[in-house]
Structure 1
């Protein structure tokens, strides 16, 4: 099998929110992945992640969580506007991810399994939606403010999801940087302890010399060695829990 894909902008859900979708070309049985974009927005690096999943045998989609608040705005402008509003409400995120999951299920060749992955605020939101939606696997890449709310000076109105974690319904892979401040290694340890106390499956890895955003090639925090190893772990995790069959050799 080759790695040819089809990628396009689509509309999902009753509200027809914008989303970026990619899928392998040709017949097959493919798992689904919902990509939750980071706080900087629905940008090109996030769309590249969607295409990367498709090139590796996944049906992938990223809903634009800022679409209602800033339709048609550039990612940085949309992010700034949404930050000024305090962020996106949790229940709205859950609804948008549900719509994205429904879109994946409607595609020909879907194998019935869906995972979720998020970076930065999206990492927190990946945990959040996994407590509310029927997902099969979740990846949290340096998700900030999962256990404690952000400082008041940030303007963000996120709340702790600590009390929701008992309802987590799928295994989780966590990828973190030892030099990160949000979440700091101490918070990652707390998260691991809480999930262990609830009997949840949590595989975690931390990278020396990596801080926040080490997966983002267009940002100063990019760390190639950590990102390459992280991608290997992501695909191994999703292949195991979603039944993926990678197209790359």
Structure 2
């Protein structure tokens, strides 16, 4: 029991740290919960609940970037919430055997998304002078991204940035602020739905949530020192390794 608590504490701190600097914390917290014996679906939703404090912290930290974007939020935040709940519902209605079969592919998808994060950023920097389209045009794209976020979530930030960059001709800094509040809405809505479902293992989620918050604070302090590219590559390699392990374990 003590070893399990230690594993989850370390995983929570690392997940919060990774999310604060490079993204992909789910790739740390989810396998740790599976490793101590939770069924994959329960581990996934428990991980989602545990990571919410980190998303809240990131949203608060970039709140200033939302000035003048209240109109966009009026359209996109409810869309993000609706998509997050839809993804959460899909997860709870996914049979355990099917989710087990999907895990390697979800992990590989997350690895690809994190792997192209820098390319997405470069593309966005080239495009920020493009004409601004109506935020209404982003609704279906944000909804689809939110469904994925509510279902699994790893790499969600990359998807959201790309989606917002396609439609909105904004600076990367302001797009990132909008992305943070939408990611919090997606994960917060999914987590709230999971809480109501009664499937969350609170004895694990509560402690891990504190650990992710600590990790997020540490990540914020170390953001200028740690090379995000190196950290991202490490997480991508870990995701690929985990995908292979889960694939080999398939019956």
Same fold (TM over 0.5): no
Higher strand share: 1
**TM-score w.r.t. structure 2 length?**
0.26
**TM-score w.r.t. structure 1 length?**
0.26
Bigger relative contact order (CA 8 A; separation at least 6): 2
